[in-house]
Amino acid sequence: MEETPGARDWTAVDRYFEALVAPDEAVRAAAVAQQAGGLPDIAVAPNQGKLLHLLAAATGARRVLEIGTLGGYSTLWLARALPPDGRVTTLELDPAHAAVARSSFERAGVADRVDVVVGPALASLDAMVEDGTEPFDLAFVDADKENLAPYVERCLALLRPGALIVVDNVVREGAVVDAAHPDPRVQGVRRMVELLTGHPRLDTTVVQTVGTKGWDGFALARVLP
């Protein structure tokens, strides 16, 4: 088939669909605030945030767990999908990132339904397991990729049967297929894939994506009832 002009321009295609994705004013403001605050440009793209929002809404999620807050961009997309008594618990290592996120939650009027937990996520997750925290309906895993396998293991202890786990950045421009890749983040993804493959309690797929964030992808796993 002959290629049309711009057929490989992933950014142009994302922009074409922007009005359809339609982030609200507070979600847009959160993106601006994290850029102004000098945070790294590693948040999900608007269409990916909308996907998280739709997954949360479609599954009727009331309790959402997020690992990796940054400036709260994905958190806001998720919080906007929750019922009035819903909550997002979001875990962040860097207090400066957490501060930017909290300001955005205040501005968006969702601060009363978002708990930001500052510290290493593994320790925060272990504390939640120990405390017998009420089970979550959906988890979005988007922090240090080296720990993806232990994060998924902790999610299994913290999510209810039937819940969803979304894990971002698992394709890494195709590097994931290279068993000898020197990047520890790639090796972290590979260890998670080993854990997920044939797991008796998880049903999983992976979808590759292209767009403003380049070539990557996400894993979607359901905790089996």
Which residues would be at the binding site for ligand SAM (CB under 6 A)?
42-44, 68-70, 73-74, 91-94, 97, 120-121, 142-144
Pick 18 or 203: Cβ nearer ligand SAM: 18
Q: How far is the CB of 49 from ligand SAM (least distance, A)?
A: 7
Q: How far is the CB of 2 from ligand SAM (least distance, A)?
A: 37
Helix 148-158 and helix 184-196, axial crossing angle in degrees, nearest 10: 40
Pick 41 or 203: Cβ nearer ligand SAM: 41
Pick 196 or 218: Cβ nearer ligand SAM: 218
Q: How far is the CB of 19 from ligand SAM (least distance, A)?
A: 21
Q: How far is the CB of 147 from ligand SAM (least distance, A)?
A: 6
Pick 70 or 148: Cβ nearer ligand SAM: 70
Do 75 and 114 meet the contact criterion of CB atoms below 8 Å apart? Answer: yes
